């Protein structure tokens, strides 16, 4: 298994891999629509606070655990806490979360592939907002088409993970991530000079707490975990590729800042279009697919830019899905001694099958609500984002804040940390603030539901 690990051994490779995992559909597809659904500003404020006070310390803790354990998520807890320790359950839950996540993530990522083709065929050029919305509706009502793209996406993910990542994703990340960033910046500028800019800024940055429900609060905290890929063992697995000299604080700050910047750029790219085209900010999962094509439909070289945008979005999704698959593959390869190809093939098939009811949630089974009013897709999303990831993160915080010896974590301070205040601040946040913040959001949610 170490063949795989050693591929990420360079620092820059590590930052790229961790940023690649965290920057994905969560930033460009999900953040704008969950912020829109939860009334904007207040949600964004809670999300930003969660990133700062909970996300960064937990990311550092995951890097640290992975580096100390030197194994996959389950193996890391087994090595650090003992094979029979209940803490191993945290590793198991992380692997399960990553797998469920992959199953429905691939469905949405498949939509990006479809939009690459739509843009290439000119279907998004010079069409009205209404036509763009109905194109999205057509895609959702066609399970065959969705399954085709879901399969294509899982195949691409599986192929890269099974072959190893060094020459694939690491090299591509260096090229594609900056282009995605530039393109988002272009869209951001476009948004800034459009008629809906002031309304969008007001919507995103002026908190109106009356519009934030306790479920919204939980979603904001959950989204912080989702967007930073925390609580699913990803950063533990990636941390196990790290050398001992690495400054975990500066790594976590780099990854988190990039991730947050991309989300805010995406928000400021999308909401001006929403307001100037008279769309509903709470339109749900279709938001990015119904707004961005409007910008490109009339822009000079819009067709080409649309192809590029959805291609890069698919690529961002790919660098995230690779990390989800990697968590589960690493476990089978490390602990069960499976070959990488066998593990990847089996897990991709499993994710495909589990993803089918998510595909059907938008068409054949759209009225099937197995839990409350949630479709299967919404249920998987809620289960992973609002429960499994924050609980996984909470467990990591409790374990590293209360159960690891201070002398062990002190290495965070002794070894190459940027400043002397970092370790005490980290220790305080991980011991008290992060667990209390996550737990209180859960308690509040339980009390109001
Ligand atoms: N952070 C990814 C995104 O924002 O799209 C999603 C993700 C990847 C969540 C890996 C969790 C995970 F373990």
Give the pLDDT score at 24: 92
How remote is the CA of residue 229 from the centroid of ligand 1, in Å?
Answer: 4
Task: State the CATH number of the domain containing residue 406.
Answer: 1.10.4160
Residue 5 has pLDDT above 70, yes or no: no
Residue 101 has pLDDT above 80, yes or no: yes
Nearest-CA residue for atom 13 of ligand 1 = 229
Mean pLDDT confidence for 109-115 = 95
Number of domains in the chain: 1
Q: Best substitution site from 320, 386, 391 to test ligand 1's pocket, by max atoms within 8 Å of Cβ?
A: 320
Residue 4 has pLDDT above 50, yes or no: no
How remote is the CA of residue 21 from the centroid of ligand 1, in Å?
Answer: 6
Tens digits of residue pLDDT in 237-287: 888 877 777 788 889 999 999 999 999 999 998 888 888 888 888 888 888
1 occurs within a structural domain: no
Mean pLDDT confidence for 158-166 = 78
Tens digits of residue pLDDT in 342-382: 999 999 999 999 999 999 999 999 999 998 899 999 999 99
2 occurs within a structural domain: no
Q: Which domain holds residue 332?
A: 11-448
How remote is the CA of residue 128 from the centroid of ligand 1, in Å?
Answer: 33
Q: Best substitution site from 24, 264, 351, 391 to test ligand 1's pocket, by max atoms within 8 Å of Cβ?
A: 24
> Do 330 and 78 touch, CB atoms closer than 8 A?
no
Mean pLDDT confidence for 320-347 = 91
Give the pLDDT score at 164: 67
Residue 197 has pLDDT above 60, yes or no: yes
How remote is the CA of residue 226 from the centroid of ligand 1, in Å?
Answer: 5
6 occurs within a structural domain: no
374 occurs within a structural domain: yes
Nearest-CA residue for atom 11 of ligand 1 = 229
Tens digits of residue pLDDT in 395-449: 999 999 999 877 667 666 555 566 788 888 999 999 999 999 989 888 877 776 6
Q: Which residue has the higher pLDDT, 50 or 191?
A: 50
How remote is the CA of residue 320 from the centroid of ligand 1, in Å?
Answer: 6
Nearest-CA residue for atom 10 of ligand 1 = 229
Q: Which residue has the higher pLDDT, 54 or 298?
A: 54
Residue 86 has pLDDT above 50, yes or no: yes
What is the 3-class SS of the chain, one letter each residue? CHHHHHCCCCHHHHHHHHHHHHCCHHHHHHHHHHHHHCCCHHHHHHHHHHHHHHHHHHHHHHHHHHHHHCCCHHHHHHHHHCCCCCCHHHHHHHHHHHHHHHHHHHHHHHHHHHHHHHHHCCCCCCCCHHHHHHHHHHHHCCHHHHHHHHHHHHHHHHHHHHHCCHHHHHHHHHHHHHHHHHHHHHHHHHHHCCCCHHHHHHHHHCCCHHHCCHHHHHHHHHHHHHHCCCCCCHHHHHHCCCCCCCCHHHHHHHHHHHHHHHHHHHHHHHHHHHHHCCCCCCCCCCHHHHHHHHHHHHCCCHHHHHHHHHHHHHHHHHHHHHHHHHHHHHHHHHHHCCCHHHHHHHHHHHHHHHHHHHHHCCCCCCCCCCECCECHHHHHHHHHHHHHHHHHHHHHHHHHHHHCCHHHHCHHHHCCCCCCCHHHHHHHHHHHHHHHHHHHHHHHHHHHC
The residues lining ligand 1, judged by C-beta closer than 6 Å to any ligand atom, are 21-22, 24-27, 98, 101, 226-227, 229, 232, 234, 320, 323-324
What whole-number distance in Å separates Cα of residue 128 and Cα of residue 443? 46
141 occurs within a structural domain: yes
142 occurs within a structural domain: yes
- Locate the ligand 1 atom nearest the alpha carbon of residue 233 and give its number: 13
57 occurs within a structural domain: yes
Give the pLDDT score at 312: 85
- Locate the ligand 1 atom nearest the alpha carbon of residue 226 and give its number: 9
Confidence of residue 3 (pLDDT cuts 50, 70, 90): very low
């Amino acid at each position: 298994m170490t063949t795989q690990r050693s591929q990420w051994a360079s620092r820059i490779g590590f930052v790229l891999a961790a940023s690649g995992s965290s920057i994905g559909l969560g930033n460009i597809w999900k953040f704008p629509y969950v912020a829109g659904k939860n009334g904007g500003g207040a949600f964004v404020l809670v999300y930003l606070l969660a990133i700062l006070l909970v996300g960064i310390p937990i990311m550092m803790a995951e890097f640290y655990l992975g580096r100390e354990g030197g194994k996959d998520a389950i193996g890391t807890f087994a090595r650090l806490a003992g094979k029979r320790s209940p803490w191993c359950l945290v590793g198991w839950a992380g692997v399960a979360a990553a797998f469920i996540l992959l199953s429905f993530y691939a469905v949405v990522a498949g939509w990006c592939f479809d939009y690459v083709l739509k843009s290439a065929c000119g279907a998004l050029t010079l069409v009205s907002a209404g036509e763009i919305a109905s194109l999205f509706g057509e895609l959702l009502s066609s399970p065959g088409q969705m399954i085709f793209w879901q399969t294509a996406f899982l195949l691409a993910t599986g192929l890269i993970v099974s072959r190893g990542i060094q020459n694939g994703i690491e090299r591509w990340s260096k090229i594609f991530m900056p282009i995605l960033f530039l393109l988002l910046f272009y869209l951001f500028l476009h948004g800034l000079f459009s008629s809906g800019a002031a309304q969008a800024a007001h919507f995103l940055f002026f908190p109106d707490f009356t519009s934030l429900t306790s479920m919204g609060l939980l979603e904001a905290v959950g989204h912080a975990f989702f967007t930073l890929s925390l609580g699913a063992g990803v950063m533990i697995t990636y941390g196990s590729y790290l050398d001992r000299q690495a400054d975990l604080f500066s790594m976590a700050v780099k990854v988190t800042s990039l991730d947050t910047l991309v989300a805010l750029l995406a928000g400021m790219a999308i909401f001006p279009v929403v307001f100037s085209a008279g769309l509903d900010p709470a339109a749900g999962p279709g938001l990015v697919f119904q707004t961005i094509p409007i910008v490109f439909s009339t822009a000079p070289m819009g067709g080409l830019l649309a192809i590029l945008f959805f291609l890069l979005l698919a690529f961002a999704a790919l660098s995230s899905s690779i990390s989800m698959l990697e968590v589960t593959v690493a476990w089978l390869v490390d602990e069960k001694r499976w070959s990488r190809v066998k593990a990847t093939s089996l897990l991709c098939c499993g994710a495909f099958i589990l993803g089918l009811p998510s595909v059907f949630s938008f068409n054949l089974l759209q009225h099937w609500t197995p839990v409350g009013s949630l479709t299967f897709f919404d249920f998987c999303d809620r289960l992973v984002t609002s429960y499994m990831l924050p609980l996984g993160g909470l467990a990591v915080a409790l374990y590293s804040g209360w159960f690891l010896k201070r002398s062990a974590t002190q290495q965070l301070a002794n070894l190459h940390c940027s400043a002397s205040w970092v370790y005490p601040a980290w220790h305080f946040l991980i011991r008290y603030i992060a667990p209390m913040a996550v737990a209180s959001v859960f308690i509040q949610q339980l009390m109001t539901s």
